Amino acid sequence: MNAPTADASGAQDEIAEEFALFGDWTERYQYLIDLGRKLPPLDAELKTDSHQVSGCQSQVWIVPSGDAARLQFAAISDSAIVSGLIALLLRVYSGRSAAEIVATEPRFIEMIGLKGHLSPTRSNGLSAMLARIKAIAESSLG
């Protein structure tokens, strides 16, 4: 996985620039699927109830490591598009301090027009994944 961009805001700008290259949502969905396919596999022993995200129609696991100074996340889903959404979240939030994670709003969702192109269940799942990442960061702050 690439080193994180200098800050979460820069990562979100990069995501918006990448999505701007595609003419329609068919191409953008394919790009999301491709991003999801590039996620490293998650070891079976990490796919536990404690790492599973509730509120997602598909199965999603988020595994944190590190501490408040720098949190890393490994994650995967059994859904191709959801794995792509995870890849975007990891670009913005993984490798950041807990304080930066808590303070960073996912503006890339609106920047790329994602909200209007996700089904209600996927939109709820994206919210649940984001809430889990932020909750992990908040708990690491003590």
Q: Position 9: which residue type?
A: S
Mark whether 1 is an active-site residue: no
Selection from 39, 106, 126, 100 nearest residue 74 by Cα: 39
Rounded to whole angstroms, the Cα distance separating 113 from 9 reads: 17
Rounded to whole angstroms, the Cα distance separating 55 from 125 reads: 6
User: Of 11, 56, 75, 89, which is the active-site residue?
Assistant: 56
Token pair belonging to 48: 């536990």
Active site residues: 56
